[in-house]
Amino acid sequence: MGRLETIMGHGGRIYARAIALETWSPRSPKRDFSPRCTSGTYCRIVRRSAGLALAVLLFLVAGSPTASAIPAFAKKAGLRCSACHEAWPKLNAFGQAFRDNGYQIGNERDSPVYQSPLYWPAGVRFTPQWHRERNGAEATDQSATGVQPVTTQGFDLSGIDFWFAGLLAKNISFVVLPSSDEYGNFHFESGWVRFDNLLKSPWLNVKAGKYELDMVVSEKRMLTLSQVGGIYQMYHYLPLIDPKAFAAAPLAAGETGASTTAFGIGDNQLGIEIGGHSHNDYTRYTVSVLTSSDGAVNLPTSKGYDTFMDVSRTLMVNSLGPQTFGAFNYIGQSPTQYLTQTPAGGGAPVNIPGSGFGNRSFTRTGAYGLLSAKKLDVVPLYMHATENADIALGIPSNQALPTGVQNPTWNGRMLELYYTQNLQFIVIARYEDIRNARQVFASSLSNYGDMDVETIAFRWMPFMHSRAGLAICPEYSKLHQIGASATGTNQTLSSAFIGLDFAF
């Protein structure tokens, strides 16, 4: 019953995430699932060509010259990308401080009045790619067991980001980010205005609009892009509904059997944020009050509000450099009932958007570290999640819970490593697991829905300058989840990916 649903990430990219619904199927254009290149001369040529290409790539990586720069964005900041990005788009300490200071360098030339009239604060990000996706237990009509492995591969496109970001005036910054999926369906991924350094203090900044929560371990600036490895799974995980236990506890009228929220703490949210930081950016805090809609516009749920807060502190440890520790907490709510309206021509009643009530709560609480030692960065992350059973099963709040149903809780852990060889080359490795501490149904296996994800990648940036960036990013990611296939067997997904990730 578990499936991996694709979701919109940054750049409108489509990523896989685990949610508790029905069988998984790729939400991609029609694909030929017949396996290719299994034997024969053609395959040998393809493999040899791939090997040659890899050898050339490694040669280029090993012998690449020092990054050169082409001036352009210098009109604004006069800096190259590497000043702010450890490896684009991952921020370093200076980039984080620049961001926290409202995109201001602090040299009294930040205000747009100092810019050329021709300066236009816009950027584009896009990623042509080749990828191979394997679903170890895809539900098919042809399989005697109901599921079978399905692999597909080919050249593909990402969505596109149009970034508009900068200053409206000194200490007033903004972002507008129209983003599309790979079909060209646009939405506003971000859009906000921030009043910086209020009362002439870096401790008071106010931002309103749609924005990324101040997750220091940022999913929006991660360096992996594949369907499986392109998100932090724990940021989007929702408990699976055990089909056997579910069958033993039939739904009453009005119960849907599916989660009433698609919440992901990695999703951009709508609200207002108060944040601040010390002058050196070593101590930071943010507090947000958010519309309870997981970032969906036009008030589709209820009149409820969520809260989010994050605090972090950086310690300077002699020769190791800065070591950051932080914690966050999200308290959200989701309606379990709606006022309904029967269409004039008859038919099933439909929910009236915004009329939700009977809110029930969920939480996400975590702690993280950004540890570094010269070229090595280590990012541990732990998150504990709770959810009300009414939300998990879509049970109206005025109805009693079925026997054996309980509020689910789960824990996510992640260890991420970055090895920055030089300005142009970075290796990424990540291990993530999610363990259910309490299942929705007490009768479910204790490890039902547990997940392990492993990702390894590198990112080679043949150049990095202040106007454009290009990264060649091979990646392999594998996800294993207990009982997540359509027939209740374990599910394994894997992505092999190589993209030409560029921003201009």
Q: Which stretch binds other proteins (CB under 8 A): 79-87, 153-161, 246-254, 403-411?
A: 79-87
Contact pattern for other proteins over residues 33 through 72, marking x by CB under 8 A:
---------------------------------xxxxxx-
What H or E segment, with its residue span, contains residue 56? helix 41-63
Beta bridge partners of 420: 426
Residue 315 within binding range of other proteins, rule CB under 8 A: no
Q: Which residues contact 163 (CB under 8 A, 6 or more apart)?
A: 122, 123, 124, 125, 175, 177, 503
Q: Which helix (H) or strand (E) holds 246?
A: helix 243-248
Residues 353-392 that bind other proteins (CB under 8 A): 373-376, 378
The minimum distance between CB 108 and other proteins, in angstroms, equals: 5
β-strand partners of 428: 418, 457
Q: Among 108, 199, 298, 346, which residue sits at the site for other proteins (rule: CB under 8 A)?
A: 108
CA gap 381, 495 in Å, rounded: 23
Tokens of 400: 């009693």
Name 325's bridge partners: 313, 369
Of the pair 39, 319, the CB lying nearest other proteins is at 319
Length of the chain: 504
**Should residue 79 be labelled a site residue for other proteins when binding is judged by CB under 8 A?**
yes
Q: What residues between 82 and 101 interact with other proteins by CB under 8 A? A: 82-83, 93-94, 96-98
- The residue within the footprint of other proteins, chosen from 429, 445, 472, 500 (CB under 8 A), is 429
**Residue 500 sits in the site that holds other proteins (CB under 8 A):** no
Closest by CA to 284, choosing from 416, 105, 110, 96, is: 96
Closest alpha carbon to 367 in 408, 333, 324: 324
Beta strand segments in 141-264, E: 147-156, 160-169, 172-180, 186-195, 205-211
- 79 or 311, CB closer to other proteins? 79
Burial 262-292 (b: 16+ CB within 10 A, else e): bbbbbbbbbbbbbbbbeeebbebbbebebbb
From 160-168, 276-284, 287-295, 340-348, give the range in contact with other proteins by CB under 8 A: 276-284
Write down the residue that tokens 């679903």 correspond to.
135
The answer to whether residue 80 forms part of the interface with other proteins (CB under 8 A) is: yes
Question: What letter would DSSP give residue 405?
Answer: B
Taking CB under 8 A as the binding criterion, the range among 2-10, 244-252, 384-392, 423-431 that sits at the site for other proteins is 423-431
Single out the residue of 34, 41, 142, 319 in contact with other proteins (rule: CB under 8 A): 319
- 41 or 319, CB closer to other proteins? 319
325 near other proteins, judged by CB under 8 A? no
What is the distance between the alpha carbons of residues 452 and 484, in angstroms, rounded to a whole number?
A: 12
What residues make contact with other proteins under the rule CB under 8 A?
66-71, 74-75, 77-80, 82-83, 93-94, 96-98, 105-109, 279-281, 316, 318-322, 373-376, 378, 417, 419, 422-423, 427, 429, 431, 454, 456, 465-466, 476, 478
